[in-house]
Amino acid sequence: MHFEAIKTKQERKFLSNNIIKAFEERKEVDLRDSFLETLNIAQSIKDKGGQTFLVGGSVRDLFFNKLPKDFDLEVYRLSGDEIKETLKDYKISEVGSNFGGLKLFLDNGLDIDVSLPRKDNKTEQGHKGFSIETNPNLSFE
């Protein structure tokens, strides 16, 4: 789900308010706060020239009118270093950095995964036989 694909501020506000309301009705305050922080992160990345997509299970859950358990973002047009600089106010784990991923830890104990676009290439047999190339300028398609 591309944050900028929702064209008008009114449409974005309507969607956000409905998701926030659903979290509050189910007393999922931590998830509500994580969603709001996800929106803040997307805006910070956009302000630096990046483009953010909501990806993973949260998109599926929202599509089926379920509440997501967490949020995953994929960031285009910013390098890993630029993302880290943009999000330097968060506690960041680079555990997945070999795969183009970072984990942001929020004050409420939840986390948000942030990844760069990447290409996986099979180099040999087995589950470890591949190479990964991250590229913030890959096409989304």
Q: Tokens at residue 74, please?
A: 């994929």
User: What's the predicted TM-score (pTM) here?
Assistant: 0.80
Whether residue 65 is predicted with pLDDT greater than 70 in this model: the reply is yes
Give the chain's domains with CATH numbers. 3-118 (3.30.460.10)
102-118 per-position pLDDT tens digit: 999 988 888 899 999 98
Strands (E), the chain: 51-55, 71-76, 91-93, 101-105, 111-115, 118-122, 130-134
Give the pLDDT score at 5.
52
Other CB atoms within a 10 A radius of the CB of residue 75 amount to: 27
Whether residue 90 is predicted with pLDDT greater than 90 in this model: the reply is yes
Residue 119 · residue 133 · CB < 8 Å: yes
Whether residue 48 is predicted with pLDDT greater than 90 in this model: the reply is yes
